[in-house]
Amino acid sequence: MTNRERLLTVLDGSSPDRIPWIPRLQVWHTAHSKQGTLPEPFQELSLAEVERELDMGNPARGGRIFTTEQGGDVEVTQESEGDTVLITYRTPVGSVSIRHRHTEEQKKIGIGGLEVEHMIKSSADFAVVEYLAEHTHYHPTYEEYRAYEDEIGEDGYPMIGAGDCPFHYFLQKLAGYQNGYYLLNDYPDEVEHLMATIEEVDRESLWPIIAHSPARLILHGVHFDSSITPPPYFSRYITPYYQDFSELLHEHDKTLAMHADNDSRLILEHIEEAGFDMAETFTTAPQVTCTLEEARQAWKDRVIIWGAVPSVILEPAYSEEVFETYMRQLFRTIAPGDAFILGVSDNIMPAALLERLKRIPEMVEEWGNYPIDPARIT
């Protein structure tokens, strides 16, 4: 089978010939390319070519099925200050701003910048953000997606990023986690009204575009965490949104994935209850407290796990013996191999050892054929 065929077979709930090995290599490749430290055999090769040389699939995260347009009477200005950019939105009901920082160190290894000043700083900003949300428009780009799927070919299958639920979007992007929870405590009615406004726009404008798109694998929801989105908040604000959204996607034969590079230990059952079909870049101990065994016990084959190789295991901080022991136990845990795609949580980082990247395909070849037999893993 090709990597595309393996991935689609897993999505269909069937068993491919062997475990798919499809990690995210872009950060590793970009960092070494920019610093001139790519290993000699790869120096003239593209990312896709290096992936093929290392016998791994293409995670195909570069496609899209819609564009976003800010409508309404909105003036947007940008002002650069050192390594930051201040972006201001002026509307008929007031102004808000965000500050984005992109350091030289981040640029050196190909990592994007971060928001260091969020749009919502106080309750006075709610009305402006609601205005922006109400005047946000989405436009389908289906032909662009089809061209991207053709470009990926048999190396993989596109996973299309499509956004986040209003609650977590408010916490992570609009207000910041700490300030967001303070505002939710102090102004619960106003915050919930804002989230309801964003959800209404999603339901009326965005959901239909996603549901009727040619994409099958939809990534929606990022960084849900046992501490940042604990069970009581998950049940109240996240589960109802995704139960409705997942029902719509399932009616259109789509698979709903969440980006799970976080500690999911306390929210495993909530993830399934919300309607997610896949936890992508699923992160396990020693990077977080959640173990692969706990996740498999909670989900069985009802939620696909894509990931389970902590990025730190690939780095010199962990010995060869620890790496080998971890990987052997991983294959034993996932046996017979249903609902599983082997990947790295979250990215293969620049410090990852090339020898270990070469070793994992050997393990897949040796132990990863269906059905996996734990007795053969010695």
Alpha-carbon gap, residue 301 to 278, rounded angstroms? 10
Q: How far is it, in rounded angstroms, from Cα 30 to Cα 108?
A: 9
Neighbours of 38 (CB within 10 A): 18
Virtual torsion, Cα 222, 139, 244, 277, nearest 10 deg: -50
Alpha-carbon distances, residue 178 vs 86, 172, 228, 232 (angstroms): 21, 9, 9, 17
The C-alpha atoms of residue 88 and residue 297 are separated, in whole angstroms, by 48
Residuewise pLDDT in 10s, the chain (378 residues): 999 999 999 999 999 999 999 999 999 999 999 999 999 999 999 999 999 999 999 999 999 999 999 999 999 999 999 999 999 999 999 999 999 999 998 988 888 899 999 999 999 999 999 999 999 999 999 999 999 999 999 999 999 999 999 999 999 999 999 999 999 999 999 999 999 999 999 999 999 999 999 999 999 999 999 999 999 999 999 999 999 999 999 999 999 999 999 999 999 999 999 999 999 999 999 999 999 999 999 999 999 999 999 999 999 999 999 999 999 999 999 999 999 999 999 999 999 999 999 999 999 999 999 999 999 998
- The closest alpha carbon to 159, from 241, 67, 251, 254, belongs to 254
Query: How many angstroms separate the Cα of 270 from the Cα of each of 69, 220, 295?
Result: 33, 15, 12
Q: Domain 3-69+135-376 classified CATH 3.20.20.210?
A: yes
- 155-165 burial by CB neighbour count: b if 16+ within 10 A, else e? bbbbbbbbbbb
Q: Determine the Cα–Cα distance for residues 329 and 52; give it in Å rounded to an integer.
A: 26
Q: Across-strand partners of 66?
A: 140
**Model pTM?**
0.97
Of 194, 166, 181, 185, residue with least CA distance to 96:
194
User: In this structure, are residues 261 and 248 in contact, taking their beta carbons and an 8 Å threshold?
Assistant: no
